[in-house]
């Protein structure tokens, strides 16, 4: 892996780095890091995508390197912002969330102020699990998870359509998920 370190912040090597679990990773403020993964990095990324709870010892074995350099590489991938965080995948139906739906949203204008205001509102709506800005007639698609049809309908009527930037909403209820992968596809020859 080749990267340009952020030299604007000196590293204090007089005390050891704190040992804490990495639940969410904040990339360094410097956008100057240039990430060029090698084959070992791709192997590490693939294994972590497949199992985010893998031990460093097992990860290093699968990547074909010893444990200390493997841990250094993982930390470098975290600092570079390649690894954004670690999460558990939950089954929403088991937890009582029976409905997954898509809401296609058209805004009254695409001004920066309207886009920002809408995105800020979306950030505060727990029912919205993903928000994607689109090109074309639809400005945003929201992926929503709700306990039932009534709670989704309440969200649409009481929150989404009342937002001042929203000009129109079309919804689609899902029947089933044939494929649900939140992972980056690993290309052949890149640790796959």
**What's this model's pTM, rounded to 2 decimal places?**
0.73
Asked if residues 145 and 165 have their Cβ atoms less than 8 Å apart, the reply is no
pLDDT of residue 180: 84
Give the span between the Cα atoms of 153 and 180, in whole angstroms: 24
pLDDT of residue 142: 98
Q: What ranges do the domains of the chain cover?
A: 1-7+21-89, 99-173
Which two three-digit tokens encode residue 27?
Answer: 């990339």
The closest alpha carbon to 48, from 29, 10, 68, 75, belongs to 75
pLDDT of residue 188: 52
pLDDT of residue 35: 72
* Vertex 131 angle, CA 83 and 81, to 5°: 15
pLDDT of residue 189: 52
Per-residue pLDDT tens listing for the chain (192 residues)? 444 444 344 444 444 444 333 344 444 544 335 678 899 999 999 999 999 999 999 999 999 999 999 999 999 999 999 999 999 989 999 999 999 999 999 999 999 999 999 999 999 999 999 999 999 999 999 999 999 999 999 999 999 999 999 999 999 999 999 998 878 887 755 644
pLDDT of residue 20: 37
Q: Which fold has domain 1-7+21-89?
A: Arc Repressor Mutant, subunit A (1.10.10)
Asked if residues 152 and 99 have their Cβ atoms less than 8 Å apart, the reply is yes
* Vertex 57 angle, CA 4 and 66, to 5°: 55
Q: Which fold has domain 99-173?
A: Alpha-Beta Plaits (3.30.70)
Helices (H) and strands (E) in the chain, counts: 5, 4
């Amino acid at each position: 892996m080749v990267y340009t370190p952020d030299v604007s912040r000196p590293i204090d090597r007089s005390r050891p780095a704190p040992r804490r679990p990495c639940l969410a990773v904040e990339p360094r403020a410097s956008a100057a890091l240039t990430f060029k993964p090698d084959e070992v990095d791709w192997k590490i990324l693939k294994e972590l995508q497949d199992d985010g709870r893998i031990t460093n010892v097992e990860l290093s074995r699968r990547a074909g390197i010893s444990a200390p350099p493997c841990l250094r590489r993982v930390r470098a991938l975290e600092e570079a912002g390649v690894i954004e965080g670690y999460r558990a995948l939950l089954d929403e139906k088991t937890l009582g969330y029976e409905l997954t739906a898509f809401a296609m949203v058209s805004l009254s204008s695409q001004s920066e102020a309207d886009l920002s205001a809408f995105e800020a509102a979306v950030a505060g709506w727990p029912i919205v699990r993903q928000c994607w800005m689109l090109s074309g007639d639809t400005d945003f698609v929201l992926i929503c998870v709700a306990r039932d049809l009534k709670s989704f309908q309440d969200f649409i009527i009481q929150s989404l359509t009342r937002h001042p930037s929203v000009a129109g909403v079309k919804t689609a209820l899902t029947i089933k998920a044939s494929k649900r992968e939140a992972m980056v596809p690993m290309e052949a020859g890149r640790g796959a």
